Amino acid sequence: MLWTAALAGAAEGQTIPDRGTVNVNGATVFYKAAGSGQPLLLIHGYPLNGELFKNNRMLPGYRVITVDLPGFGQSKAPGRDASIENYAKTMLGFMDAMKLNNIVVGGMSMGGMTLLQMYKTDPDRFKGLVLIDTTADPAGVAEKAMWMGTGQQAQQKGVASLVDLLMPRMLTAESRMKMPNQVAHLGSLIKQASLDGAVGAAMALANRPDANPVLGTIRVPTLILAGVEDNVTPAELQMKMKNQIADSRLVMVPGAGHAATFEKAMAVNAAMRAWLAGLR
């Protein structure tokens, strides 16, 4: 009955519960919420879950909501078929269910790709966007093959086998050597993904839409955040988005890879606080 309580509370304008589930678009979406103030929704990347943001939940003046996309963490997917467009539909449905309108939404990597499709579909729902270690580009030939291979590996060797494959993309070499707790945490998130989630999302990433046409239509303040050492969506892609989004700010985080929001949480939080202060 957790989800019904969540819906009732949101509908009555009460504080969003600390955790709950919502049935939407054939999926069961789990969420957590922390802090108080205006809602701020954060969407994780592949093949993680909302606990990617465990150190980003306390932003003064905001009730930070983190979700698990279908097939990841504690959320359930209706099957293996997945697409970035369908994730966007699910997240807009989640916003509907939770009565979230005119809010700031952030997305990391696959979550950022999802966010761009959400904005394309219903731009009036957003007060601001936070694009974290992501890109508007479709997958090129090499990247498409890489994502298809990732899905095949999950199928053949299990989701846990993705930990060693993906960790060098998530964290810098220094963090992998000196911060075993970070490696353990991200590794545990990967292992929580379902096989359907891991395989379906890999195909979704391989076949994702070109979101570059969306960038020029964005009419809300946008923060672009990325790790300086991100080797998945490098600085060139961040600068490209910055140049195409009218009211955007780019912050590159030193000493961080693709999972900058977790690897250098204090620096990311400081950048978000400074940017959010300008939205009031």
Tens-digit pLDDT profile for residues 202-229: 999 999 999 999 999 999 999 999 999 9
Residue 130 pLDDT greater than 90, yes or no = yes
Q: Calculate mean pLDDT across residues 75-87.
A: 96
Tell me: pLDDT of 98 over 60: yes
- For 230-261, how does the pLDDT look when each residue is reduced to its tens digit (9 = 90+)? 999 999 999 999 999 999 999 999 999 999 99
Res. 7: pLDDT tops 90: no
Share of the chain above pLDDT 70, in %: 95
pLDDT at 12: 36
Q: What confidence score (pLDDT) does residue 280 get?
A: 65
DSSP states of the chain:
-HHHHHHHHHHTTPPPPSEEEEEETTEEEEEEEESSSEEEEEE--TT--GGGGTTS---TTEEEEEEPPTTSTT-B-SSS---HHHHHHHHHHHHHHTT--SEEEEEETHHHHHHHHHHHH-GGGEEEEEEES--SSPP-HHHHHHHHHHHHHHHHH-GGGHHHHHHHHHS-HHHHHH-HHHHHHHHHHHHHS-HHHHHHHHHHHHT----HHHHTT--S-EEEEEETT-SSS-HHHHHHHHHHSTTEEEEEETT--TTHHHHTHHHHHHHHHHHHHTT-
User: Does the pLDDT value for residue 1 go beyond 60?
Assistant: no
Q: Each residue of 195-207: pLDDT tens digit?
A: 999 999 999 999 9
Query: What value does the mean pLDDT take over residues 115-126?
Result: 98
pLDDT in tens, 42-56: 999 999 999 999 999
User: What pTM does this model have?
Assistant: 0.94
